Amino acid sequence: MDYKRNPPETFKDVDAMSGEEAQREVKALREGIEFHDYRYYVKNQPVIADALYDKLFRRLQELESAFPELQSETSPTRRVGAAAVSRLKKINHCAPMLSLDAGLEAADVARFIDFVRRNVGDEETAFVLEPKFDGFSVEIVYDRGVLKYGATRGDGQAGEDITHNLKTIAAVPLRLQRRNDAPDTLSVRGEVFMLRKGFQQLNRRRIEQGEAPFANPRNAAAGTMRQLDPKNVAGKPLDIVFYEILSTDGGMPATHSEMLKQLSEWGLKTYDRNQKVRSLEQIKSYRNNLAEERAHIEWDIDGLVIKLNDYAQRERLGVRHRSPRWAFAWKFPPKEEVTTLEDIVVQVGRTGILTPVALLAPVDVGGVTVSRATLHNESEVKRKDVRPGDQVRIARAGDVIPEVVERVDRPGKARGDPFAMPSQCPACHGRVHKEGAYHFCSNRLQCPAQLIGAIIHYASRPALNIDGLGEKTAAQLVHRELVKDISDLYRLTEADFLKLTGFAEKSARQLHQAIQARTRPGLDRFIYALGIRHVGQRIARILAETFAHFDRLARADRSELEAIAEIGPEIAQSVTSFFGQDDNRQVLARLEQAGVQVVGTTDAGRSRPLEGKTFVFSGKLDEYTRTEAEAKVAALGGRATSSVSGNTDYMVAGHDPGSKYEQARKQNIPIIDEDGFKKLVS
């Protein structure tokens, strides 16, 4: 029976059917419904009426109910059949999910094209142009053509498992078309977004129910996809477009345009007006057409993406730490409106940076009501010469963050003197110091405005790794005044945690024990945990190896610090300023009184056995995240890169390694498993 082109409108009575008949019909119905989903949601070319589709769907539900043994997790009826999850689990990506370099000017694009052509040696090389979707980036993995899992982008190396919610989006195939042609493992990247019309309807319902509206469709998509219960996601106006193969154990197409065609053949929705070009003029023309059509497209876009078409040329260019050298985003200028600047206040961020903020007469900018906007820093306020009472032009930079672009008019006499940054922090009255164009509160460990961020950073995995102490808990501890600086964490009792929302006896006991288990941190982790400006994990390790003991580092002056090869004046100033701040010294003393003993290292100046060695990781490791494994290599003098080249010394292969594994094998690069890696770094 043909359920694709000529489906029946009447069916045999279920009670009169044998199990074998039901099995054949269920198989045909699933294949037919998958085909019609593909035609409707991916191709926008339905071949049957909606009423007939609904009839097929109800018939499948009826058969699965009558014959429970035929139920399957890949059935179209299971899109909203998953149970709610207790939390979003972390999941490592098959390959890094990189961000893009971006610019607003044609000159930026010209420089990108010139760079590419100079480095690949091809003046006629082609590029593929795609809209830059203003959505929520995800990885989806298929195993033998069946959806296995999907995850958020996260930090680019690992994200949160949102499989249960992705299954509710009709354009996400539970099984690929042409599965016989699909590789055993396929990891693809796509963008989940919310349709504009549906976004407005969603916000209307939220307001009517007394909930805060979402700021924009991107925030709405991100917030919706992080729900724990898929029933809260089903029916939301979400869609998806796929645009990249991240990893596969099958062969990769030779070009990006061929890859997009392959995705479409597998039933993965792609934008149907991507274009291959060879000149800057063609790119400008595409951009102009896209900008004109922007208001009429059903979803938000904030520019276009320019990608080198040839994959072999991409491999030669490689990637930077966070972005590929073969792609560039040409962003649209922000949307603008004029309103009255009513006042300027100073906001203290979680990293201590002081930002002047304009309070505005509310104005609609691109469909979002804006009542406050950033002024960036003191120099910007003075350059624009804006004061309360001025008429100012407001833009949503990147269509999201509002900012004051310029003063348009000054009706009558402006109120007050030109703006100046305060000498004391508005949140804690600590000393404010200036670095370049920005002002910072020096009271890193005690300032209430910074304290939530300081606690989250202190407890983070690369720092003291206190499991269970996340943003929501940190915020409650600060807002309820249970923690006034990080030393107070060690004085908390189980009873204190029971006062917080979301805690029961077991979770309170576990978090209390997790904190108390971190009273003897290693020196490098403790240095990093303090959140000293400009001191990341690598610099923290260098400082630990050089000074060996915490008190020696705390007494070091700028000349001692600058004598270290990788420490420049800016880092040296930041470290000495941190330890020179009386408020910070008091918190460090209270940490010691609370029982925190920093374990110094006795191997300062130790040998670096992996010096000069380059590692590439592929697949999932059991005992390390990708970040931890790369940090281990760096601590021993080696370096980790994201792509295989002639300079690669070791390929570390975890579970389900991707195409990089095959590249390493073909180039005769030594391949080791996780046990081999552990032996090497032990």
Q: Binding site for Zn(2+): what residues are annotated?
A: 425, 428, 441, 447
Nearest to 422 by CA among 449, 441, 402, 395: 441
| Contact residues for 552 (Cβ-Cβ < 8 A; gap 6+) | none
Region of 320 on the Ramachandran plot (φ > 0 left; ψ -120 to 50 alpha; else beta): beta
* Per-residue tokens: 507: 């979770």
Which sign, positive or negative, has the C-alpha torsion 564, 566, 567, 569? positive
> Which of 89, 132, 613, 679 is flagged as catalytic?
132
Give the number of other CB atoms < 10 A from CB of residue 575. Answer: 26
Look at the block and give the residue holding tokens 């420490």.
567
Q: Reading across the β-sheet that carries 614-618, which strands appear in turn?
A: 639-641, 614-618, 650-653, 671-672
Q: Residue 83 burial (CB < 10 Å; 0-12/13-18/19+)?
A: exposed
**Binding residue numbers for NAD(+):** 50-54, 99-100, 130, 153, 191, 307, 331
Residue 4 is a catalytic residue: no
Strand order in the sheet with 301-308: 102-103, 327-331, 301-308, 127-133, 275-277
Q: Could you list the beta-strand ranges (E) of 437-476.
A: 438-441
Contact between residue 336 and residue 365 where contact means Cβ atoms under 8 Å apart: yes
Angle of helix 569-580 relative to helix 582-593, nearest 10 degrees? 70
d(Cα 352, Cα 430) in Å, to the nearest integer? 11
- Report H helices in 192-330: 196-208, 217-225, 256-265, 280-293, 311-317
Q: Rounded to 5 degrees, what are φ and ψ at 200?
A: -65, -40
CA separation for the pair 292, 419 (Å, rounded)? 39
Token pair, residue 48, equals 């049957």
80 and 231 Cβ atoms separated by less than 8 Å: yes
Positions at the binding site: 50-54, 99-100, 130, 153, 191, 307, 331, 425, 428, 441, 447
The C-alpha atoms of residue 217 and residue 307 are separated, in whole angstroms, by 25
Catalytically annotated residues: 132
